[in-house]
Amino acid sequence: MLVLFEKLIGFLCTLFGLSLGAIIVLICLDVGLRDLGLGSLPWLIELTEYLMYAGTFLAAPWVLRQGSHVRVDILLVAVPKRLAVRLEQAVDLCGLLISLVLLYYGSAVVADAWRSGMVQYKTWYVPEWLLLLAIPVSAALLAAEFVLRVLRVRGVVRDDYAIADRPSI
């Protein structure tokens, strides 16, 4: 199950990276088409907005898993290891709580958009629930990762333990 979770968040992050690459290529193509007077890709800005929004949410669990998010470890390196581990667990529990709140409210908003049939219209007609779905999906994956982070740190209080280096399960 853990391997499947890791593969899922890795896949979502890879998909986001490929999407960013595609956006870069399409922007270059759009600029080239405009310069040559061959038209443009009017839907590209909308596609970029949707991919950046959804991709950022869906790649967040992988970033958290890698420990590549922004963090300030000043306090954690200044206190004894045992206390540092407990502080790290407390922070992870706060992250879990916030993720669960996002999951609850994100799911409620998606359900409301589904029931009302709201549609986002710019260049394309896109059901709003589909655009909002990235929030509860990401929140559920973040919640799972925060649970794993709490479990990974439990009992790790050796002197050679560096709080920033998370061992895998």
Sorted by sequence, the CB contacts under 8 Å of residue 95 that are 6+ apart come out as 64, 142, 146, 149
Residues in CB range of 129: below 8 A, 6 or more apart: 110, 111, 113, 114, 118
> Which amino acid type is present at position 91?
V
Q: Which of 53-67, 96-110, 147-161 has the lowest mean pLDDT?
A: 147-161
pLDDT in tens, 87-129: 888 989 999 999 999 999 999 999 999 999 999 888 899 999 9
Average predicted confidence (pLDDT) for the chain: 88
Band (pLDDT 50/70/90 cuts) for residue 145 is very high
Closest CA to 67 of 168, 154, 141: 168
Checking phi first, is residue 134 left (phi over 0); if not, alpha (psi -120 to 50) or beta?
alpha
pLDDT of residue 154: 58
Q: Are 148 and 91 in contact (CB under 8 A)?
A: no
Backbone angles phi, psi at 123, to 5 degrees: -95, -35
Q: Indicate if the pLDDT at residue 34 is higher than 60.
A: yes
The pLDDT of residue 86 is above 90: no
Listed in sequence order, the DSSP H helices in 67-164 are 74-78, 81-116, 128-132, 134-153
DSSP one-letter code for 42: T
- pLDDT exceeds cutoff 60 at 163: no
| SS3 label, residue 127 | strand
pLDDT score at 165: 54
pLDDT grade for 137, boundaries at 50, 70 and 90: very high
Q: In whole angstroms, how far apart are CA 155 and each of 86, 122, 127, 149, 151?
A: 10, 52, 46, 12, 9
